Amino acid sequence: MTQLPPVRALFEAHLTVQDLDRSIAFYRDVMGLPLAHIVSARNVAFFWVPREGEGMLGLWGVGTAPVSIRSHVAFRLDLEDVEHSVEALRAAGLTPVSFGREIDEPDVLTWMPAASVYFDDPDGHQLEYIAMLEQAPRPDLRRMPLSQWRTLHAEEGQTVRTE
């Protein structure tokens, strides 16, 4: 059996909530979690747990989570392992994807920023391998392949950590 990359920690979990605004207030004001990002058009909010870049909680308004997802869990890996996971997943008979399309390299979630690869477990639960990147968040950009992110930062004179 093919060995997949080692998981360092649980990074992310998602909950479906009845009232997104009420839940944002609870997790921000009562629980004290820093609000990371809101996608109003999708009725979803993300919180850092406990601090930026260390872990995340996603809150989805009822009926807004992608229908194909039974549940979603993200696992923190080293960046090098996220990069190699595409090949390892294929060797294990799994399909690496990002937002519904098959991929050949990790995508960068630019608003965080983090490199990630999604895949499904045998029951259709969406799993994700993720590694935070050192560059500043770029919420003005859409997600992009890791190679494109590296090219962008090389052109801007920034180095991109590869280990």
For residue 30, what pLDDT is reported?
83
pLDDT digits (tens, 9 = 90+) for 57-116: 998 888 776 654 557 889 999 999 999 999 999 999 999 999 889 999 999 999 999 999
Cβ–Cβ under 8 Å, residues 115 and 107: yes
Half-sphere exposure of 146 (CA within 13 A, CB side): 24
Q: What is the pLDDT of residue 73?
A: 86
pLDDT band at 162 (very low <50, low <70, confident <90, very high): very low
Task: Tell me the pairing of strands 56-61 and 44-48.
Answer: antiparallel
Whether residue 26 is contained in a domain is answered as yes
pLDDT per position as a tens digit, 136-152: 999 999 999 999 999 99
The answer to the question of residue 25 being in a domain is yes
Provide φ and ψ at 43, rounded to 5°. Answer: 60, 50
Instruction: Output the pLDDT for position 66.
Output: 60
**Does residue 162 lie in a domain region?**
no
In a domain, 95, yes or no: yes
Q: Is the pTM of this model over 0.85?
A: no
Q: Cα–Cα distance between 57 and 125 in angstroms, integer?
A: 16
Is residue 53 within 8 A of residue 112, CB to CB? The reply is yes
Q: What is the CATH number of the domain that holds 113?
A: 3.10.180.10
CB neighbours of 4 closer than 8 A, spacing ≥ 6? 85, 88, 89, 92
Q: Establish if 102 belongs to a structural domain.
A: yes
State the number of CA atoms in the 13 A half-sphere of 110 facing the CB. 15
